[in-house]
Amino acid sequence: MAKILIVEDEIKIARFVELELAHEGYTVEIATDGRQGLDMALAWQPDLIVLDLMLPGLSGIEVCRRVRQESRVPIIMLTAKDDVSDKVMGLDMGADDYMTKPFAIEELLARIRTALKRQVGGETRAQARKLTVGELTLDPLGYTVTYRGAEIALTKKEFDLLAYLMARVGQVVTRDELLDKVWGYAYAGDTNIVDVYIRYLRTKVDERVGVKYLRTVRGVGYVIKDEDEKD
């Protein structure tokens, strides 16, 4: 069963979540400040982290940033207030999902299940194979993207989005499907975020290497194509 780390300084919330997760069969550890949370995230190597934003020691944002330098573990952030800038910053730092406190435990459990299931390119990492489109190669195990052998640095979401499209080369994928498979239902209905991340990928991949891989299919979605193929 999956190992879950809860980083939360409010002991009552931490214990409550621990109890519920243990009841579901997860193995759970609690860290009560940011520093301890970071140490445990790196040493214990949980399968998922539930990370409070407001923490003594190191902030949740800082913990998230540092964990991301080492690991792609799914992170669900807890925010006390529905503050858009905090939310955006958390997601920029590589959090996979967020929840605003107070939250229903059933919803957190559902999001944990989704995050654990969500897989690179829609496959488990164990099944993951290298994906190649033209001279662009994506390695799900090494979490690297290269063009003619030169690495292209991407954020986790950009990587996941590119992986999903590359696994379906030549196949048009709708915004709704991308939103569902790459982001999950924290973003239900907000397909603008897909367009935003496609733009990031165009800047970081297409424009940089001078090849138009990412194509827009007007009114439908996106498709990735080999450079030699025509529209």
Q: Which is nearer to Ca ion, 9 or 18 (CB)?
A: 9
Of 9 and 160, CB closest to Ca ion:
9
Please say which residue, 9 or 96, places its beta carbon nearer to Ca ion: 9
Tell me how far CA of residue 36 lies from CA of 6, 51, 57, 170, in angstroms.
Answer: 11, 12, 8, 46
- Lookup result for tokens 């999950």: 184
Who contacts 13 (Cβ-Cβ below 8 Å, separation ≥6)? Answer: 52, 101
13 binds Ca ion (CB under 5 A): no
Between strands 150-152 and 144-147, the pairing is antiparallel
CB of 54 to Ca ion, least distance (A): 4
Query: How far apart are CB 78 and Ca ion at their closest, in Å?
Result: 8
Question: Near Ca ion by CB under 5 A, which window of 9-17, 121-129, 194-202, 222-230?
Answer: 9-17
Using CB under 5 A as the binding rule, the residues of this chain from 98 to 157 that contact Ca ion are none
Binding mask 52-81 for Ca ion (x = CB under 5 A): x-x---------------------------
Pick between residue 5 and residue 138 the one whose CB is nearest to Ca ion. 5
For residue 131, give the DSSP letter.
E
The residue among 185, 112, 120 whose CA lies nearest residue 159 is 120
57-60: long-range contacts at Cβ-Cβ below 8 A with a sequence spacing of 24 or more? 57/33, 58/33, 58/34, 59/34, 60/7, 60/34, 60/90
Which residue is nearest to Ca ion, using beta carbons?
54
Q: For residues 37 and 169, give the distance between their C-alpha atoms in angstroms, rounded to a whole number.
A: 39
**Rounded to the nearest whole angstrom, what is the least distance from the CB of residue 36 to Ca ion in the complex?**
13
Which helix or strand (DSSP H or E) is residue 99 part of?
A: strand 97-100
Among 5, 9, 18, 205, binds Ca ion (CB under 5 A): 9
Closer of 52 and 158 to Ca ion (Cβ): 52
Grouping H, G, I as helix, E, B as strand and the rest as coil, residue 16 is helix
Residue among 54 and 209 whose Cβ is closer to Ca ion: 54
Give, as ranges, the residues between 25 and 54 that touch Ca ion (CB under 5 A). Answer: 52, 54
Residues that bind Ca ion (CB under 5 A): 9, 52, 54
